[in-house]
Structure 1
Amino acid sequence: MKFSLYLGTLVTTAVMMQACSGVVSDGDHTVGSGGIPGTGAVAGTGPVTGSGGGGAGVGGTGGTGGTGPLPGTGGAAPGTGGTFVSTASAITPTIMRLSSVQWANSIRDLLKLPSPGALESEVRADAVVRFDNEADSLFVDLTMRNDLEKVAERLASQVVADAAAIARLVPAGAPTDAAGRAKAFIQDFGRRAYRRPLTASEIQEYAVLFTQAPTLTTGMGIFEAGMRVTLEAFLQSPHFLYRTAIGGTAVQKRARLTDYEIATNISYALTNSMPDDVLAKAADLGELKTSAA
């Protein structure tokens, strides 16, 4: 089954271009733009008329006249301004592909397979310069695209061939009817794969794909076919392969990281894998933006 990553790459690029229009903050920190304090002329000195800085730069204060036997006069030259840099901690909006180790760990945690195989050896190695999670070294070229496609096909087939593996991915308490069970799987698995809840349109798109699956593959039951095809699509989605630090809705060109981005970045920084159930729940409840968290 062929699911091209070209569309996903275009989507990722579009999101990246959109992300560059704002300023992102981490937690309670934000960053703005303005001017650095201006500099005026120095104060006048000596027995003659002093020369001082009278003009103010952006955010600055002009100098005052000097003192001496004869009154000094303030100068009229304007100070110089520049760019204001806040003391708040700023984060550049980024979209970064998972490193090979992060990807493999996430696959293991996501699919819950006892023996998923030697995943790292199945995809093209990254040509890293310093660290294996450097964004500049992480991209998807044609070779990696083909490798990811093959791995997705293999893993999806491995899951649907095992009733126990299927049961591990269908949430407890899922409806018993075909449509309800499929939707429960899509929502739960998608939440974990994307590391955030799926949108209504994403759920609908995957539901359509799920129902069309029996026409795209043969030799298995209807539910197994739907799960196989949607698993292949999830595992090749840029929303799974990439993590972001973009932030939510910008207010006055400032945006905070979302709870889901915070959870994701914390998890990959500490464990090199996707958020576990505890961290994911904290993100769902909006508990990660506070100082206490």
Structure 2
Amino acid sequence: MKRKIAIGGAAVLAMSALSAAPALAAEGDATVSVLHAVPDLVVDVYVNGTETVPDFQPGTLTDPLMLAPGAYDIQVYADGAGPAEGGSPAIEANDVQVPANANVTLVAHLDANGNPTLGAFVNDTEPVPAGQARLTVRHLAAAPAVDVRAGGTPVVEDLTNPNEASLVTAAGTVSADVTLAGTEDVVIGPADLTLAEGTNTIVVAWGSAEADNLALAVQTVEAHSAPTGVPSGLGGASDDAAAPAIVLALAGMLGLAAAVLWRRSRLVEARER
């Protein structure tokens, strides 16, 4: 039986753009991408009463989406248990505010202990010198500290969940892998990464070491403008004292939805025994 649990508001925020965003970006629109990095979990997402994201699958990264600033009503259901099936939302929130001019990736992922959680990360679009590229690495897997190597040489060391590290390097193609910190034990990769000039290539380690399903997800954003000041992760380092309201609201939704659906799944499993 497939485990079903809400990955929470991360999917909701970005996918609402499918029905609500204009074809072209308008002044003040927020740029939002979503990575579903919780293994084996599937949800259905409703926005303003309409099923917007059916069967949102692990490993999926949305294209960048433009959201007009404003309020959205959102509901998260267990997969296949929506209103047509007589289901009730695991969690819902009305008038959730989307801030203007944000450039964010929301990631539903596992914390270091294997529990689903939500992180909100600024995508650094600050310019890089000619011939250079930015590489950002995010550790969002249920796994110990890791080193990230390029061409066999560590470029990021002792990175722990839910943190990130970034560096500027020469543009080009590199062979990257992930090892347990301080060892030669490869747990992900190697994989060829193309670091294009003037871009920020974001590499995310996700999954679970215990379940042996660790994987990499890669996102590329243009490096041409200043970051918007969204914090680098809920629970991670940030130069800002407070996160935008949307991030805090979605984080709270995730925790409550996860708890509700975990309880439901355990009841179903008990009845099937």
- Same fold? TM cut 0.5: no
TM-score by length of 2: 0.23
> Quick check: which one's strand share is greater?
2
TM-score by length of 1: 0.22
Larger Rg: 1 or 2? 1
